[in-house]
Structures are given as C-alpha cells and as structure tokens.
Amino acid sequence: MDSKVKDILEWVYCIVIAIVLALLFRYFIGTPTIVKQVSMKPTLIQDQRLWLNRWVRTTKKMPNRGDIITFEAPSNKGYSVNEIDQSNPIAKYDNEPTNIFKKFTYYVLEWGKDSYIKRVIGLPGEHVEIKDGKVYINGEVLQEDYLQEGIVTDAGISGFDDFIVPENYVFAMGDNRNHSTDCRAFGCIPLEKIESKVWIRIWPLDLWGKVE
C-alpha cells in the first residue's frame, strides 16, 4: 500500500475514533448547552452557558426535589379543559423515531429534538396541589426560596393542579412561573425522558459555579 494512502487512512481512522468518543462522552457523561428561554429566571438567564451532567441518565437515577433537569419535550405541549385527567397526569410522547438511523440522529445527534430546562418539584407517589398561588406537597406548603418575590404559582384553566405523581415520573416547573410551559400544562415526565441535571454555570465567568 502506498505510504501516502496509508497515512490518509490512519488520519481518517483517528478522526472517526475521536468523533465516536466525543459522541459517547456527550451522550453518557456530559455536554455544554446554552439557555435559550426565560422560563428559569431568575436562576438561569438567556444566553448563559451551562454544563449538563448526563451521568444521571446513564445510571437512570431519580433526581431530587429542587434539582434543575433537562428533558425531552413532549409531543403534546398542553391539554384542553376536557382532556385534563388528574388521575393520569403524564406527558405524551407520540412522535418516537422508529428505525435505528432516526433514533441515532434524534437521540445521539439530537437533530430535530427539543428539550426543556425545569426544576423538579414533585417526586413519585407525592400528592401535588397548586392552590392559593402556592405549591403543596402532601398537604404541606413547599418553600421555594429560589423564586422571585411576589411570584404566584397558578395552573391556569386547563392545567394539572391536584394529582399524585406516578411511579417513575417527576413533576417539574420553571422558576419563572408566569412564563413557563411545564408539567402544569402537559403532565409529569417519565424518568427515561430525563436527559441530564444542570450542574455548573460556565458563562458568564463572574457567575461561574454550581447551579442550585
């Protein structure tokens, strides 16, 4: 084999290996992201850079209350008054990719895939109530010091506001309650759709540190 051809093949081989390792790291370990919406103000602001811990997805570990997570956006972003079923408060995922290539591009390359950043509020088996502008967990008012003063939590006319979080699901909301499309609108998120936990704010540098 010509030495030049051999050198080219070796470079191609190294590049392919590097790409595969990068994709594996990004999917299973962690990856950076940019805040694009206002739903997590004042905790997270648009254009801030974050580092996401994806090891929680790899180990399928249930998050804790208060954790800020990212998850795959459901196919149905909201229900009508007649469609709300408080006895079955789960998000719908009806547009799952069907073949291996589509699954790879959707889940690994994340082409055409939308994700949300929200804070975990309710855990499996807990009774969540939204009333009087507050959140109640098993009958007790949830203390939410991360909210801006004066923020009122309202489920709206067609939102989930009195339910039990199903097993292996979580209930999550944005900190900017009046400008957040979250589980109040579309229901609880299954554990397998949680992609990562927000770990560190890496930009701007003066706010660098662990996100809570």
Q: Which residues are catalytic?
A: 39, 118
Tokens of 154: 């309202």
Q: Which two tokens stand for residue 110?
A: 């994340």
- Under DSSP, the state recorded for 90 is B
By three-state DSSP, how is residue 132 classified?
coil
Task: Say if residues 162 and 129 touch (Cβ distance below 8 Å).
Answer: yes
Contacts of 19 (CB under 8 A, 6+ apart): none
Q: Which of 31, 35, 71 lies closest to 52, judged by CA?
A: 31
**Tokens 């206002």 belong to which residue?**
38
